Amino acid sequence: MILLFFRKSAVACKTCESLIFSERCPWDKNKTKDAFGPGDLNAMFERIVSNQEWIDRGLAILSRDPWVVTIDNFTSYQECDKLIKFGESRGFERSEDVGDKKPDGSYDSIASEARTSLNSWCDQQCLSDPLS
């Protein structure tokens, strides 16, 4: 069974509260927690640099203040091949920049001469694959 729900388009009616981003997605700075508390970021990097799997993959600490690390073999050849195959099956698209803000609060995307890369998104099949 497929259930579809439609409502008036905020763009079409130009009267809906959904046009006002702060009404549609309220955010109270006083009620939200920071993603990292004091010392959390340092603790995260300490866990990373002491993890044997990352060490075995070629982890190197370039600096601890600020933290700068490299991991030579961040992905294995098998993981890379799998991600490339997923990308090929979905198709690669030209990377885009953020464009103008739309009435509904989202943004258009625009092609840019500066961004010439291609990308593909990891869908549910990709996310559920243990190698990717």
Beta-carbon contacts of 48 under 8 Å, excluding residues fewer than 6 positions away, are: 54, 59, 69
Q: What is the DSSP letter of 98?
A: E
State percent of the chain over pLDDT 90.
45
What's the whole-model pTM score?
0.54
pLDDT average, residue stretch 76-80: 91
CA angle 28, 33, 34 (to 5 degrees): 115
pLDDT digits (tens, 9 = 90+) for 29-67: 787 888 889 999 999 999 999 999 999 999 999 999 999
Helix or strand or coil: residue 93? strand
Three-state SS at 60: strand
